[in-house]
């Protein structure tokens, strides 16, 4: 059986970005990673949102809710107001905004003028 000429196959595979089997090269770049030092792009830490300003610190009394506290500091107990207090104090309050414990210290954020 006559041997097949593989030179056409090699040219075709290189044109597609492969250097052929067993060469250890990938794509058109060729070479190995050890031959060239890896350059890493300069990375900057992600920008942190500015820390909100706080107008007061409130110590939770027995029976208080976030609505009570919002009414005291903002003059309104609408959800947007008490949720602002909750979002600023999630680490203290936990996952349930309805569960406040007497003695918890909450930071009251200054709201943007609307």
Q: What CATH number has the domain bearing residue 59?
A: 3.10.350.10
Residues of the chain above pLDDT 90, percent: 51
- Residues near 96 by beta carbon (within 8 Å), at least 6 away in sequence: none
Residue bearing the bigger pLDDT, 34 or 103: 103
Residues 114 and 94: their CA atoms lie apart, in Å, by 28
pLDDT band at 28 (very low <50, low <70, confident <90, very high): low
102 belongs to a structural domain = yes
Instruction: Tell me what pLDDT residue 44 has.
Output: 72
24 belongs to a structural domain = no
pLDDT of 40 strictly over 70: no
Residues 56 and 58: their CA atoms lie apart, in Å, by 6
In this prediction, residues 2-24 reach a mean pLDDT of 53
14 belongs to a structural domain = no
Closest CA to 49 of 83, 87, 86, 80: 87
Structural domain of 85? 54-109
Residues 101 and 97: their CA atoms lie apart, in Å, by 11
pLDDT of 99 strictly over 60: yes
pLDDT of 93 strictly over 90: yes
Residues 77 and 83: their CA atoms lie apart, in Å, by 10
Residue 34 burial (C-beta neighbours within 10 Å; 0-12, 13-18, 19+)? exposed
100 belongs to a structural domain = yes
Task: Count up the domains in the chain and report the number.
Answer: 1
């Amino acid at each position: 059986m006559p041997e097949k000429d593989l030179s056409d196959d090699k040219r075709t595979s290189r044109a597609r970005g492969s250097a052929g089997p067993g060469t250890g090269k990938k794509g058109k770049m060729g070479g190995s990673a050890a031959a060239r030092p890896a350059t890493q792009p300069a990375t900057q830490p992600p920008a942190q949102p500015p820390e909100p300003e706080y107008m007061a610190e409130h110590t939770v009394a027995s029976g208080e809710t976030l609505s009570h506290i919002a009414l005291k500091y903002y003059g309104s107990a609408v959800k947007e107001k008490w949720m602002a207090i909750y979002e600023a104090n999630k680490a203290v309050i936990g996952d349930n905004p309805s569960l406040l414990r007497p003695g918890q210290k909450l930071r009251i954020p200054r709201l943007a003028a609307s």
